[in-house]
Amino acid sequence: MNGFCLYLGGSRLRTLVAGLIGLALIPSAAIAQTGACCLPTGICVETTAANCATQGGAYQGNATTCAGTSCPIVLQPFVDALPLPAIAQPVTGQPGHAAHYEIAMRQTQQRLHRDLPLTTVWGYNGTYPGPTIEARRNEPNTVLWTNDLRDAAGNLLTTHHLVVDECLHGPDLNGSAPLTTVHLHGGHLRADSDGMPDFSYPPGQSAPLYTYPNNQPAATIWYHDHGLGITRLNVYMGLAGFYLIRDDAEDALNIPRGENEIALAIQDRAFNPDGSFKYPAVHQENFFGDFMLVNGKVWPYHNVKRGKYRFRLLNGCNSRTLTLALSDNATFWQIGTDMGLLPAPVAINSLTISPGERADVVINFASYAPGTEIILENSAPAPFPGSPGVGVIPNVMKFIVGSDAGDTDPLPTTLASVPVIPEAEATVTREFLLRKTPVTIGACDNVTQSIWTINGLMWDDIVERPVLGTTEIWTWINRSGMTHPMHMHLVAFQILDRQPFQMQAGQIVPTGPRVPPIMNERGWKDTVQVHPFEIVRVIARFEDYAGLFPYHCHILEHEDHEMMRQFEAICPPLTIESTPDDLQVCKGAQAQFAVQASGAYLSYQWKKNGVPLLDGPTGTGSTVTGAKAATLTIDNVALLDVARYECTIKDPCDETRTYHADLVYCPADLDDATQTGACDGAVTIDDLLYFIDRFQDGDAIADLDDGSGTGVGDYAVTIDDLLFYIERFADGC
């Protein structure tokens, strides 16, 4: 039972254990009478075979030694089928359309490998990874997220499942409470639906109802936890899931779909011998696991047909960058980036994605003989870039090619239009220096550490205030030896260029030209790899939603320990430039009020005598349109339309301005001097003659009052109408 301790028998992995983990095998000539013994507790002791057996342990063989205090875990790759996360089922509405979801975070147990005991995980709706939310462009979803983490007895958890480092910002105040908050990574949405870390909540509580407008192109985005100072622990426990936005443009493309379209969440983990997740108790600046999980299984396999597959790849690791390739080095195609499809498929043999990034790729298995096994491999050192071969987990998953034909249609040569944001559109350029800074930390204020920061500033130092409706260039300058994946909330950005630099006498000195991004980075992005001693410029339009939004390194260990800050999207000043005067309108005519306001993403609401208006008929004869637009139109004005109209103009910062005007009705003004019957605002003898003429004919225009003399039109022309008219005529209007 070499290295398997409790749960695997046999000696077939003896050399593998020794090779991988470094157990020393002493040549048989020097056989000793003791060896490593894995006790049922997972502790490794060196003792005799007999002693080991008495204690119920697994003897590793004479002369074997314990590499550490616990037994190394060795798991056989490719023995479990790839799990496919379920589609989230809404409470109302349908998956893939506007719908309302209620999703709870629950503690549960899952088997993450055939030979591992059950692992306690946290899952959305009790599954790790969470269910996939299917969304449609411009069809909003609402989600009620609830922290329902409970122990096996059903009691709400009061402490985290993992050890919380209470020196960090967040736990310094909240201790080890298992607070959560859900962020939709890649979602363009209001600040109050963004999962702000400061508003993390304990078990038993929910966030306010979140709205996801889905007003963005088809993309593979994902939701994950963002708890303040414990994001790395919460995501590690399993709080992550896919959120797929689809749209008509993507549907019109002939790319693999249905069972040929699979989302793969790739995450590394480490285990204790009892199957529990292993994670350091004290914050460390990187976490690298020993095993690669795809959709919550260690090194799974998937049976594929002989055809094309679309894989939506997510690097969901805490710290680990992945350089992925196929074991036969075959070409595959990248068709999409973080936030949507690329302009055209890009042929590649390997792909580097850092934590938080997604890559949409197509792999073609059509040419393989049935039975061929292709391994998706990783070669990225950890930390990244680092020295080749160091810290690598080489296996990711295996594809086993079957005999059935699959999708063999050619890939489209063009995919989506990704209009380039012109650099000249940017009005502001900001620089962000990524480096270690000595910081005195939270509760442990006697401890000064050198930690990763952005411009040496902290979470509460809010100095970036992009104005909605404007474009900015953000320049990331990495003064360090490791790659930082920099992520911005709210926006989709484009990468402008990368440029190498050196430090010379404390100055940043570029040492080469600005190089445009490689082809498979020329799409919409929300996370960008900023490599060591590189200046990376990205350009973004700030649109629609105001408020505080995080931006951070997506290495979760960095994010949790101050490599995360917030920008505040603000509104330009809201002003009403001019207003129309009060309107005097005749019966049956059209009234129109228009407001001219300046500001970004304004909303309008017209009211009549204080009551909000909707488009459509408001009473006999009159129809209202534009109740939520800058121009309100009332067709076929009747007496009941006489009122005070006001328009409340609101910007995304909740600034409001109100404009108002009165509608004055003039039933006595029926014609003009040429007797054409049009309204001219002056009541003259012509109007009286015209009225009498119409009164005799019984024409509807002469119907001014009702039988009770209240002046409401009843479509019967009676003596009341004449009396009403004469009264108005005498008043002038």
Which residues are at the interface with Cu ion (CB under 5 A)? 185, 484, 489, 553, 555, 558, 563
Q: Which is nearer to ligand C2O, 557 or 687 (CB)?
A: 557
Q: Residue 106: which of Cu ion, ligand C2O, none does it interact with, CB under 5 to 8 A by kind?
A: none
Q: How far is the CB of 264 from ligand C2O (least distance, A)?
A: 17
Omega within 30 of 0 (cis) for the link into 129: yes
553 binds, among ligand C2O, Cu ion, none (CB under 5 to 8 A by kind): Cu ion
Q: Within 217-246, which residues bind ligand C2O (CB under 6 A)? A: 224, 226
Closest distance between ligand C2O and the C-beta of residue 252, in Å? 30
552 binds, among Cu ion, ligand C2O, none (CB under 5 to 8 A by kind): ligand C2O
Which helix (H) or strand (E) element contains residue 723? helix 719-731
| CB distance 517 to 509 below 8 Å | no
Question: Quick one: 363 or 569, whose CB is closer to Cu ion?
Answer: 569
- Identified binder of ligand C2O from the candidate list 188, 487, 498, 694, rule CB under 6 A: 487
Q: Could you give the string, one character per residue 163-202, with x where binding to ligand C2O holds by CB under 6 A and - elsewhere?
A: --------------------x-x-----------------
Among the listed ranges 366-374, 387-395, 464-472, 548-556, the one in contact with ligand C2O (CB under 6 A) is: 548-556
User: What is the C-alpha separation between 732 and 669, in angstroms, rounded?
Assistant: 8
From the list Cu ion, ligand C2O, none, partner contacted by residue 418 (C-beta under 5 to 8 A by kind): none
Choose the contact partner of 550 out of Cu ion, ligand C2O, none; CB within 5 to 8 A by kind: ligand C2O
Smallest gap from residue 487 Cβ to Cu ion (A): 5
What is the nearest approach in angstroms of Cu ion to the Cβ of residue 193? Answer: 12
Binding range to ligand C2O, per CB under 6 A, among 52-60, 206-214, 547-555, 593-601: 547-555
Choose among ligand C2O, Cu ion, none what residue 42 binds, the Cβ cut-off being 5 to 8 Å by kind: none
CB of 462 to ligand C2O, least distance (A): 16
Q: Which is nearer to Cu ion, 228 or 362 (CB)?
A: 228
Question: How many Å from the N-terminal Cα to the C-terminal Cα in the chain?
Answer: 103
Nearer to ligand C2O, 289 or 550 (CB): 550
- Helices (H) then strands (E): counts for the chain: 8, 45
From the CB of 189, what's the least distance to ligand C2O, in Å? 12
Output the DSSP codes for 364-379.
E-TTSPTT-EEEEEE-
Q: Give the separation between CA 366 and CA 350, rounded to whole angstroms.
A: 19
* Residue closer to Cu ion, measured from CB, 555 or 638: 555
Q: H-helix or E-strand containing 529?
A: strand 527-530
DSSP 8-state code for residue 467? B
Non-local CB neighbours of 516 within 8 Å, separated by 6+ positions: 496, 497, 522
Tokens 């400061």 belong to: 198
Query: With contact defined as beta carbons under 8 Å apart, do 103 and 122 qualify?
Result: no
Tokens of 263: 């989302």
Least separation, in Å, of the C-beta of 185 and Cu ion? 4
- The piece of 114-122, 531-539, 549-557, 699-707 that touches ligand C2O (CB under 6 A) is 549-557
CB of 517 to ligand C2O, least distance (A): 21
Bridge-based pairing state of the strands 308-315 and 426-440: unpaired
Smallest gap from Cβ 597 to ligand C2O, in A, equals 33
Contact with ligand C2O (CB under 6 A): which of 14, 136, 320, 489? 489
Residue pair 87/132 in contact by the 8 Å Cβ criterion: yes
Going by C-beta distance under 8 Å and a sequence separation of 6 or more, which residues neighbour residue 94?
Answer: none
Read off the tokens for 348. Answer: 């590649």
CB of 197 to ligand C2O, least distance (A): 8
Q: Please tell me the number of Cα atoms within 13 Å of 247 on its side-chain side.
A: 18
Residues 6+ apart with CB under 8 A from 348: 331, 332, 333, 334, 361, 520
- According to DSSP, the residues that pair with 535 across neighbouring strands are 477, 499
Whole-Å CA distances, 24 to 16, 62, 276, 454, 710: 12, 11, 26, 44, 105
Contact between 467 and 572 (Cβ < 8 Å): yes
Token pair for residue 385?
């870039």
Residue (35 or 227) nearer to ligand C2O, CB: 227
3-state secondary structure 304-358: EEECEEEEEEEECCCCCCEEEEECCCCCEEEEEECCEEEEEEEEECEEEECCCCE
- Name the minimum Å distance from CB 489 to ligand C2O: 6
> At closest approach, how far in Å is the CB of 616 from ligand C2O?
42
Pick the closer one to Cu ion by CB: 72 or 129.
129
Inter-residue contact 647 to 656 (CB < 8 Å) = no
- Binder of residue 555, out of Cu ion, ligand C2O, none (CB less than 5 to 8 A by kind): Cu ion
Residue nearest to ligand C2O (CB): 185
522 binds, among Cu ion, ligand C2O, none (CB under 5 to 8 A by kind): none
Residue 484 site contact among Cu ion, ligand C2O, none (CB < 5 to 8 Å, cut-off depends on kind):
Cu ion
Separation between Cα atoms, residue 424 and residue 539, nearest integer Å: 10
Please, which of residues 319-378 interact with ligand C2O by CB under 6 A? 356
* 356/588 with CB nearer ligand C2O: 356
Give me the residue label for tokens 């002989």.
306
Query: Which of 14, 537, 552, 558 lies at the binding interface for ligand C2O (CB under 6 A)?
Result: 552
Instruction: Label residue 213 left, alpha or beta by phi (over 0 means left) and psi (-120 to 50 means alpha).
Output: alpha
CB 379 to Cu ion: min, Å: 21
Q: In the stretch 394-433, what mask flags binding to ligand C2O with x, by CB under 6 A?
A: ----------------------------------------
Q: What are phi and psi of 58, to 5 degrees?
A: -110, 115
Residue bearing tokens 């480096």: 435
Name the binder of 255 from ligand C2O, Cu ion, none, CB < 5-8 A by kind: none
Q: Which of 316, 340, 550, 711 binds ligand C2O (CB under 6 A)?
A: 550
342 binds, among Cu ion, ligand C2O, none (CB under 5 to 8 A by kind): none
Least distance to Cu ion from the beta carbon of 102, Å?
Answer: 22
C-alpha 95/C-alpha 697 separation (Å) is 61
Q: What is the DSSP letter of 199?
A: G
For ligand C2O, give the closer residue by CB, 183 or 525. Answer: 183
Nearest of 223, 250, 135, 122 to residue 179 by alpha carbon:
122
Size of interface with ligand C2O, in residues (CB under 6 A): 10
In the complex with ligand C2O, the residue whose CB is nearer, 164 or 563, is 563
Contacting ligand C2O within 379-398 (CB under 6 A): none
Least distance in Å: CB of 564 to ligand C2O? Answer: 7
Binding piece for ligand C2O, criterion CB under 6 A, among 50-58, 393-401, 419-427, 546-554: 546-554
Residue nearest to Cu ion (CB): 553
Quote the crossing angle between the two packed helices 719-731 and 685-697, to the nearest 10°. Answer: 170
CA-nearest of 637, 644, 642, 639 to 590 is 637
Q: Which does 356 bind (CB under 5 to 8 A by kind): Cu ion, ligand C2O, none?
A: ligand C2O
d(CA 567, CA 144): 26
Two tokens at 478?
Answer: 């990495």
Task: Give every CB contact of residue 622 below 8 A, 6+ residues apart in sequence.
Answer: 634, 635, 636, 637, 638, 640, 641
Give the chain's radius of gyration (CA, Å): 34
Cβ 170 to ligand C2O, closest distance in Å?
14
Task: Summarize as ranges the residues that interact with ligand C2O (CB under 6 A).
Answer: 183, 185, 224, 226, 356, 487, 489, 550, 552, 554
